[in-house]
Amino acid sequence: MRTDMLTSLIIANTEKDTANVKTVGGETFEPMIDEEIRGNLVDAFVAGTDSTANTFCYITYYICKHPNMKQKMISEIDSVFSNKPYLTSDDLLKLKYCEAIIKESSRMIPVTNFASRYMTEECEVAGYKWVSGTMFHLNIMGVNSHPKIWSNPEVFDPDRFYNVDQDDDKNKYSLIIFGGGPRICPGRKLAMGELLLLMASVYRHYNVELVNMDEPLKIVTASANNVQELKVRISPRIN
């Protein structure tokens, strides 16, 4: 598993090498002080609760609307966890189709609709010069559904991300789930692990169906997309 950015910074933050600078993914970061580490960890556990819960609702809605994809997901889960009494982190890494479903669900309905960036000095973006003090609002939904980047962006298709080499991605910022750059979400590894574990734990033992296949997902939209209601029918799987 590749080292998480937060882990890298924590390792760098030792008394004997506080001046050490880490390079992660081609970007340079200074060591974090203890207060910054503590704040990021609190954000990862507290702020990540609602976002993970909502994303799991998106996943449930879309795979229930697409039975063939749901069966492919269940087959992967069964093959990875066949006759295993418990799950390991290495097992979760094998759930490539489940990971693709998470990414596609997040592309269709991002947890956050926009991100803001305040310019502290003059800069050039898209060929235009912007003065210091400019506030940018990044349209996450617009990026995730841009027709020049995604073919048939309105169609739910996890195969966009299945067995795709992310290092060769045409644009690493064409999908915004956890942000990017120095301020990328420090809890992204935790969130992905939680979602994979939820998917494996639930669909390994239970069959989940929408009560009404024709009913749209009820979402309250503001700065974030919060699921207001999702009616499902749950029953034990018959193996």
Checking phi first, is residue 95 left (phi over 0); if not, alpha (psi -120 to 50) or beta? beta
185 is in an annotated binding site: yes
The angle at the Cα of 227, spanning 224 to 233, to the nearest 5 degrees, equals 160
**H/E run at residue 72:** helix 67-80
Alpha-carbon torsion angle 96, 97, 100, 101, nearest 10: -140
Residues in the chain: 239
| Radius of gyration of the chain from its Cα atoms, rounded to whole angstroms | 20
Helix (H, G, I), strand (E, B) or coil at 28: strand
In the block, residue with structure tokens 């962006």: 153
Give the residue numbers of the binding site.
185
Give the residue numbers of the binding site for heme.
185
